[in-house]
A and B are shown apart, each in its own frame.
Chain A
């Protein structure tokens, strides 16, 4: 077990190093001089541009820049954002919790709804309600997220705020602030749920369908167990395995998955930060978010792997 764990963590670290390297190279391929992009439309002299380049370190040869970057990254320093003139990690830290709050809540709800509808659909496959719920989920999944978000915002009228995370004039006490944040979260949350629950529904439905004709279910029925007991106690736990993996893999993506939703609803999270860094381009910030997002996926992959061993005795045995 320890060896297995060490292997997995070691693999993850190698992947992370690869990501850090790739992050550097990938964003240097983007054409354009960041200094020119930053100062576009403003009165700057050539000397000022050169000064700015020297200060940002983009005038050095690529190899030297890479060594500098790698060394700093290993020490946990991802540099200073060009646009905000602040440490990248600090900016990311600030934006992390709004994203975790939004995507965490919506993922939890989407998983619950998706699994529940998936179980129902499989158990009563081919029925009208199954066809409707599967069809609806697929249709929502196919919808462009930004379009769905704007549509929801329009359709709900004045009920919910059209953007942001809180009103500036909300009283500073904890209760008012929490309620305000929750109020602002309704529309982005609904949008995310509407789009993502379909995959949980489909995976749950198909894996339960595979179990449906297994002998152990016939045995359970033969013992005279009630239908819903057969479903809850026997079929669902076995069918849950693929879904658990899926949920964990998605938890890694949760951090990045919100770019569209955060942009539509001006939610001040990592997704929006990434989008802004891209339009800059704010190279250090872009690299930083890239590493953090990739890191989240890698970590969750390790967790999924380990959890799978715990849940499924067959994997442990092999």
Chain B
């Protein structure tokens, strides 16, 4: 009993500093913002560097970043940004338009510097800082993402001395940045430490330090939160989220997520030049079959049983968190197996003796459904799909394979159905571009990022129009029409939008800004608001680290006593054995 009392964590010597301790489950691949690809890496980048413009915390519209004002020319090809006076790098140097020009220019001329964010500058014609305050960007064609350039702006006076961008790790602390936090210590795959930037132009954060500790599994991260080792956790599964219900000192945040799950239907895989590839079932080229599949799936049941209720019903590729662009179809496909069966009967897909339908071309309706072995979702949802399609007289063979095998089959078109999913950005351009004809692979099966192989003249025409449309209302209408076309043609069935499940120690931090507000996330935002605006609970007892010295002393002592005792007992028994002889 005394042992237990001694072992319990005791408040460390009163520390004045208030620290927000965050658990991350994805490693930070690089601190170099030109190379960092992983979400965790870019999130760290957002804390260290501002972008030219930022996304508002409430509704994600473009607001002041390093630039406070901007305008574009009549032809939408020239953009002028003003970088106001008074903003400073963390080493005290002023931030100017030349820093931004340097950053974009570097990405345009150095291929390595374009690794992570190159798509944003790919269509840039030229970037110039006409003076310290004015940045002029000319683009080759109108680009709707000019106010959503996800590129951290780096200090020219530091980075101009870097000889090889690919080799530069950017871990010489303190790292000079412009964001609300300054990196002070980095141990790869252990932790990252930041100090609040007291001179931040938006105002200093309300606490002193921010640390990210790396946990390989969400289970370990959730335990660390329960034990009070960390204050904020995300990426939880439904069961983990449920386990934190009603726990003292812990508040949960069920946020609308940016991700969707879908089943891609191989509606005719082909290369960019239209050469058919792969071995998809020919009947899937028939839109009647694809719609019947969509109608047969009970999305609500899948969300209820597989997502534990933590998801919203799917329609188009843009989730409801981006309310402006989210599609609410006028006539959504109801869950109606009877109607789906009738459609198939009418289209000539007759049932064989064993109940399996046969296409008018004489092919049995037997489909392969590929899923990721790494995701429990695919396996569980796969069973639902299998049963739903069995009711239609379509046999489904669910195969869960490694991510790489799935990627391979996806690129080669050697599948009938496959689970997929994407994360989306506030600007819909990228996610919509995935389904244009140009995204299909070239002849050697490379160079494409599509997963549906969708190629539709009407969709492509709408895509080109929305890309050049700068009137928000008109662009919104075009985006919705594109999704409606996608929904009607069913190259994929969007099953649902996962909620982002987060939790924090409300006994240490009273509140966090969410994005969008309400209903949004704390971590993984389009911005740094969640960390920047965290408000400590009124009374902070300092850090509760455990008293490791004491613990070790006691544990070590206990071990010695145990081992010693056991040895003595063994000896005594040995002696008795000798006595018996």
Contact = CB atoms under 8 A, between A and B. Distances in A.
Interface of A: 30-33, 36-53, 55, 83-86, 94-95, 120, 123-124, 150, 153-154, 157-170, 176, 179-180, 182-183, 186, 226-228, 231, 262-266, 268, 272-273, 275-276, 279, 281
B552 A281 contact: no
B224 A163 contact: yes
Nearest to A129: B573
B545 A167 contact: yes
- Looking at B37, B188, B408, the one whose CB has the most chain A CB atoms below 10 A away is B37
Interface in B414-449: 422-423, 425, 430, 433, 442, 446-449
A181 to B, nearest CB: 9
A155 B433 CA distance: 50
Given A30-B404, A162-B227, A170-B545, A43 B119 contact: yes
A273 B548 CA distance: 27
- Looking at A84, A86, A275, A279, the one whose CB has the most chain B CB atoms below 10 A away is A84
19 contacts: A31-B405, A31-B407, A33-B408, A44-B118, A45-B122, A46-B446, A48-B119, A85-B35, A85-B166, A94-B188, A124-B577, A158-B228, A159-B551, A168-B211, A182-B548, A182-B552, A268-B189, A268-B190, A276-B27
A53 B118 CA distance: 15
B215 interface: yes
B446 A33 contact: yes
A83 B188 CA distance: 13
Contacts of A279: 374, 403
Nearest to B425: A43
- Looking at A38, A48, A94, A263, the one whose CB has the most chain B CB atoms below 10 A away is A48
Contact of B216 (A85, A94, A170, A266): A266
Nearest to B17: A169
B114 interface: yes
Contacts of B115: 48, 52
B407 A33 contact: yes
Given A38-B37, A48-B114, A228 B571 contact: yes
Contacts of A154: 223
B223 A86 contact: no
Interface of B: 7-9, 15, 19, 21, 27, 29-30, 32, 35, 37-38, 111-112, 114-115, 118-119, 122, 166, 169, 185, 187-193, 209, 211, 213-217, 219-221, 223-224, 227-229, 374, 402-405, 407-408, 411, 422-423, 425, 430, 433, 442, 446-449, 543, 545-546, 548-549, 551-552, 555, 570-571, 573-575, 577-578, 581
Nearest to B188: A94
A273 B552 CA distance: 28
B446 A50 contact: yes
B224 A227 contact: no
Contacts of A86: 169
The 7 closest A-B pairs by CB, nearest first: A32-B404, A46-B447, A168-B211, A162-B223, A163-B220, A43-B430, A168-B191
Given A32-B407, A41-B422, A265 B220 contact: yes
A186 B555 contact: yes
A42 B39 CA distance: 10
Contacts of B21: 168
A169 B208 CA distance: 12
A80 to B, nearest CB: 8
B570 A227 contact: no
A32 B403 contact: yes
Given A46-B448, A159-B7, A150 B219 contact: yes
A85 B167 CA distance: 7
Contacts of A163: 213, 215-216, 220-221, 223-224
A44 B189 contact: no
A120 B228 CA distance: 43
B407 A36 contact: yes
B410 to A, nearest CB: 9
A169 B433 CA distance: 45
Contact of A40 (B213, B214, B407, B442): B407
A183 B546 contact: yes
A226 B209 CA distance: 65
B545 to A, nearest CB: 6
Contacts of B448: 46
B7 A162 contact: no
B220 A183 contact: no
